[in-house]
Structure 1
Amino acid sequence: MRNHLFTALTLLMFSLAAATTVTVQPGDTLTRLAVRHGTTTQALLRANPGVNPNRLRVGTALSLPAAPTRTWTVRRGDTLSMIAQRHGITLGVLLGVNRGLNPRLPLQVGQRLTLPAPALARASTTAVVRAASIRVNAALPVQGRVTTPYQAAHPGLDLAVPAGTPIRAALPGTVVESRFDSRSGWGWTVVLDHGGGVRTRYSHNSANLVRVGARVRAGDVIARVGSTGKSTGAHVDYRLYREGQAVNPSGVQ
């Protein structure tokens, strides 16, 4: 399972290059960018005076604030998951503040890792459900191109990536569906229940890797990208629900 998780997290590294700027992509919000790049919304706003957090324009280049300075020295037996859990953060945040870290490679005793500032560590554990938006601590299930945005006729996101790409859980939860859904045209589909009336759906998979009843953590690999069901190419149809009502995953804040 750990190897699969490292493979999934490798996708996250695509957007974590050691650059000083980041370009706003379709579906990005300031909070999502902050989590993805291991910083806070407040720090991003300070680094980009004049930016309206409610009206981010696709293609806008945002300056990334300086990385935090807290560090952790790797001990014998340490893993990325253990270090993240020990410091109350997510794996995504840990990778975000260590942009040159390759999750495929084993950690070395004595290796020094950067830790997020305390404000970010506190924010990364927050999971607040609101009527119109949901604050989560995970990135998208894959880092792909948005081919179909959230809209009334399609209340989810289509994320195009190569077939076979690992799909990871957006939040910790329980598998409540893992089946081939031919009736709705979703093909191989996984549905996770995260509690508090929140569920996520991952569809058109080439293979489901979890069974009903299994508990998963945020970032665990649950399926692989495919084009099953009513689909014209390899992608994930990712949907988020609150109390049975679809919520725009791009508006997660």
Structure 2
Amino acid sequence: MTAKFLLTLTLTWLGLAAAATVTVQPGDTLTRLAVRHGTTVQALVQANPGLRQGTLRAGARLTLPAVSPARGWTVRRGDTLSLIAKRQGTTLAALLAANPGLDPQRPLRVGQRLLLPAKPAVTRAPGTPTVRAASIRVTAVMPVQGRLTTPFLERHPSVDLAAPTGTPIRAARPGVVTESRFDAQSGWGWTLLVDHGDGMTTRYSHNSANLARVGTRVDAGQVIARVGSTGNSTGPHLDYRVTVQGTPVNPLSLY
């Protein structure tokens, strides 16, 4: 284990230990706070007795759940980021957040060291299943195999995946197309929205062409549009957005 890795591990742990509370911002929900701080709704409620979902008040202070220190992982032959995330009970988004500068489009090197996200310390009664609201477990298809150019941020609640114009865009999950239009007002250009029927929707924007019409039922992996640079865009890419019950969620948390 190198001195640089030990230093990174120590700084990560110190940062986690210092972040004991958080101030609720206008529009915050428990799900949004859980995603932002790498924990779960259940852990937030347990860390704040008396807190009820839907009663958050802007300016209020919430205690963040205690977390375990960051851990390390040495890449083995056959490892991929998605496989490591699944094996360690985390998400691709959390793994990328713990390793700034890691390019998800480049293959891992055997022997490469990665930081694993700290796991929330959740206490629960025996026999009670753990609810992981911040780690949505679904079978999803990556819409485009492109380069991640903009990660999920509070001011940009989506991910941008750069790919050549005309690259097929595939539906992440089965569902029904509820929007297929040119959205000049939002700056999304040609955009397409799929409702998956379980509270989740996925949006695909800046397309060069929409191939699925409103009302069309699509399957996971079905080509529904093509990459473009329409609307407010500086180059060909897909703006990929996911919401659960109206709350933005990092799309990479699905993989």
Q: What TM-score range do you get, normalising by the shorter chain? A: 0.5 to 0.7
Which AA in structure 1 matches 2:184? S
Structure 1 vs Structure 2 CA RMSD: 3.1
* Unmatched segments (≥5 aa) in structure 1: 1-18, 24-29, 46-51, 64-128
Equivalences for 1:25-40 in 2 at 5 Å?
30=81, 33-34=82-83
Taking the aligned partners of 2:97 and 2:149, their CA distance within structure 1 comes to 22
Deviation at 1:54, TM superposition (A): 8.8
The residue identity in structure 1 corresponding to 2:158 is G
Give TM-score, length-normalised by structure 1. 0.53
User: Which structure is richer in relative contact order (CA contacts within 8 A, separation 6 or more)?
Assistant: 1
- 5+ long unaligned stretches in structure 2: 1-75, 90-94, 111-130
> Match of 2:168?
166
Larger radius of gyration: 2
Find the partner of 2:224 among 205, 222, 228: 222
Q: Is the 8 A contact 1:202 1:238 kept in 2?
A: yes
* 1:90-134, Cα deviation, whole Å (9 max, x unpaired): xxxxxxxxxxxxxxxxxxxxxxxxxxxxxxxxxxxxxxx953232
Give 3-state SS (helix, strand or coil) of 1:195's partner.
coil
Please state whether the residue corresponding to 2:145 is helix, strand or coil. Answer: coil
Q: Which amino acid aligns with 1:251?
A: S
For 1:192, the aligned partner's letter is V
TM-score where L is the length of structure 2: 0.53
Cα distance in 2, alignment partners of residues 250 and 209 from structure 1: 24
Q: CA deviation at 1:213?
A: 0.4
1:197 to 196, 199, 204: 199
Matched, 1:142 2:144: yes
Counterpart position of 2:34? none
Write the mapping of 1:56-95 to structure 2, written as runs, cut at 5 A. 58=102, 61=108
Alpha carbons 1:140, 1:170 under 8 Å: kept: yes
Change (3 A) 1:174 1:22: same
Task: Tell whether the 8 Å contact from 1:133 to 1:247 is kept in structure 2 after alignment.
Answer: no
Mapping 1:115-126, distance limit 5 Å: none
Cα distance change of structure 1 residues 53 and 210 upon mapping to structure 2, 3 Å threshold: closer
Deviation of the 1:41 alpha carbon: 3.0
Q: Corresponding residue for 2:154?
A: 152
Letter in 1 for 2:185: R
1:191 deviation in Å?
Answer: 0.1
How much has 1:195 moved relative to structure 2? 1.2
How many residues in Structure 1 have an aligned counterpart in Structure 2? Answer: 152
2:137 maps to a residue whose letter is: R
State the Cα distance separating 1:135 from its structure 2 match.
Answer: 1.5
What is the CA-CA distance between 1:139 and the residue it aligns to?
3.1
The question of whether the paired residues in 1 share the 8 Å contact of 2:141 and 2:220 is answered with: no
